[in-house]
Amino acid sequence: MTEKRPPYDLLIRGGTIIDGTKAPRFQADIGITDGRIAAIGRLDGHGADETIDATGLIVAPGFIDSHTHDDQAVLSQGLMPFKISQGVTTVITGNCGISAAPLRADMDLPMPLNLIDAPAEGRFTTFAAYLDALRHTPSSVNVAAMVGHSTLRGVTMSDLDRPATGEEIAAMRAHVEEAMAAGAIGMSTGTFYATATNATTEEIIEVGRPLGACGAVYVTHMRDESDKIMEAMEESFAIGRALGVPVVLSHHKAMHAPNFGKTKVTLPLIQETMKHQCVALDCYPYTAGSTMIRADRGMLDGRVLIASSEPHPECAGRDLADIAADWGVSKHDAALRLQPGSAIYFMMDEDDVQRVLAFDETMIGSDGIPLGDKPHPRLWGTFPRVLGHYSRDVGLFPLETAVWKMTGLTARNFGLDRRGTLKIGQHADMVLFDAATIRDAANYETPARPAEGIDTVIVNGAVTWRQGVHTGARSGQVITRMEKAAG
């Protein structure tokens, strides 16, 4: 008599497994039960409530976006098609010093805090309230959230154009303690922006004191990514040493033509520093960045493409130079008229982008801003662009390495122990894609186009994207530091 084997909830048959560890690919089936990987191997004879034929497809861990500004979007745009469609199953939020909590309803959010589009009604005064809202109204992706230092300055200080006082530092530190207790995975800073430019190194260290006892991370959009990048890096490393925590350098780059090629110096410094303390970095695979509309001269030297503008929404998708010419004003004055809003800045060299991408320890982060009809194409195309263009077409690294950079490496650096690899017991976050056809379809003219070659995306065992269509599943979970202890 043949033994009757209990069926899996979902069975993926015949795929080629790239498991997120950089190990060579192999053929296997995967059985999923209760949102977890239950078996990997030859599963002939096993039944399932649902079976997916993955013949000819790569089966990889769901991609982890190491750098997002999806803090509010995971609530207001919960289906998250711009992430799910490219295989992203987990987003790290709260970057660049900007987070959705804590905020006050009476706060007038200065740039760049307004990039997360947090409406006055329903703002979260505590980090716990924000995470509870995500649990009550799940997104289609998992969320691991950080608290932002600029947000803390905004909620605590009446004037951001100065260093914080001792009393204000203590108030901010109390907010960090609350966020850590709620499950935040770390704290980020954005000293590049006016909201935190006047924060001293000592202020950041004292505000971040609770991080060390919690095993949290310190993530930074540094003060300078151009002429003074080396000094900014040294400050970031010093903060990590003072707090005894890992440091993540956000969207590593060398901005503006006089600094092109400087990654030949920055990357060796990072590599040397890694021998003495925990340091990580991420980047996006484009020569253009995107942030709020800025009027300072350095940001306006190259091509600037307007992505969104509150006072002039009709200008989205147009070059700033053309708008300025039509209005008969300088680019500086046109930028002021267009604020608040977001823009795309062409300010990097392709050789630097490839050098940072190829650096072995570089994670992949989109840094997309989910606002308006003309966002930076990285919002929709980052991960397929790495897999298709840079891995397959340019040959920058093998596919196993590309997958590791957006899964296992990211999970390791952010302490997401149960994500990022395909192993028995892991959460069943997966993406099935065609290695021969995967590519980013989004570009600067049509930036909101789903990627090609993504067949299926699974989040916590639920099929969420299938052959170009969102299933409507919203099975994302809140990932906290406590998940590591819970197992």
Same domain assignment for residues 277 and 318:
no
Percentage with pLDDT > 90 across the chain: 89
Q: What is the pLDDT of residues 341-374, one digit of tens each?
A: 989 999 999 999 999 999 999 999 999 999 888 9
Residue 486: pLDDT above 60? no
In a domain, residue 278? The reply is yes
CA distances from 466 to 85, 223, 389, 398 (A): 9, 42, 23, 26
In a domain, residue 199? The reply is yes
In a domain, residue 324? The reply is yes
In a domain, residue 161? The reply is yes
Distinct helix (H) and strand (E) counts, the chain: 17, 22
* CATH number, position 173: 3.20.20.140
Burial call 401-415: b when 16+ CB within 10 Å, e when fewer: ebbbbbbbbbbbbbb
Same domain assignment for residues 130 and 164:
yes
Total domain count for the chain? 2
Same domain assignment for residues 238 and 370:
yes
Same domain assignment for residues 214 and 331:
no
Same domain assignment for residues 176 and 263:
yes
Last residue of a domain, one of 418, 441, 476: 418
Same domain assignment for residues 383 and 249:
yes
Residue 117: pLDDT above 90? no
Q: Give the mean pLDDT of 273-296.
A: 95
Same domain assignment for residues 155 and 129:
yes
Residue 417: pLDDT above 80? yes
Q: What single string gives the DSSP state of each residue in 382-409?
A: HHHHIIIIIIIIS-SS-HHHHHHHTTHH
Q: Give the mean pLDDT of 237-265.
A: 97
In a domain, residue 482? The reply is no
In a domain, residue 232? The reply is yes
Same domain assignment for residues 152 and 219:
yes
For 185, the domain range is 62-287+348-418
Phi, psi of 214 (to 5 degrees): -105, -5
Q: What six digits make up the tokens of 387?
A: 């897999």
- Among 117, 176, 119, 135, which Cα is nearest to 152's? 176
Last residue of a domain, one of 418, 436, 463: 418
How high is the pLDDT of residue 482?
63
Q: What is the pLDDT of residues 385-411, one digit of tens each?
A: 999 999 999 999 999 999 999 999 999
Task: Classify 343 in phi/psi space as left (phi over 0), alpha (psi -120 to 50) or beta.
Answer: beta
In a domain, residue 221? The reply is yes
Q: Give the mean pLDDT of 72-101.
A: 97
Last residue of a domain, one of 361, 385, 418: 418
Instruction: List, in sequence order, every beta strand (DSSP E) within 82-216.
Output: 88-93, 142-145, 147-148, 186-190
Same domain assignment for residues 135 and 214:
yes
Residue 1: pLDDT above 60? no
Residue 487: pLDDT above 70? no
User: What's the half-sphere exposure (Cβ side, CA atoms, 13 Å) at 481?
Assistant: 18
Instruction: Please state the pTM of the whole predicted model.
Output: 0.95
In a domain, residue 100? The reply is yes
Of 209 and 372, the structure prediction assigns the larger pLDDT to 209
- Among 353, 399, 429, which Cα is nearest to 65's? 429
Same domain assignment for residues 214 and 329:
no
Same domain assignment for residues 334 and 361:
no
Residue bearing tokens 């110096």: 265
Q: Give the mean pLDDT of 177-190.
A: 98
* CATH number, position 319: 3.30.1490.130
**Integer Cα distance of 357 and 382 in angstroms:** 12
Q: What six digits make up the tokens of 192?
A: 């590049």
Same domain assignment for residues 225 and 246:
yes
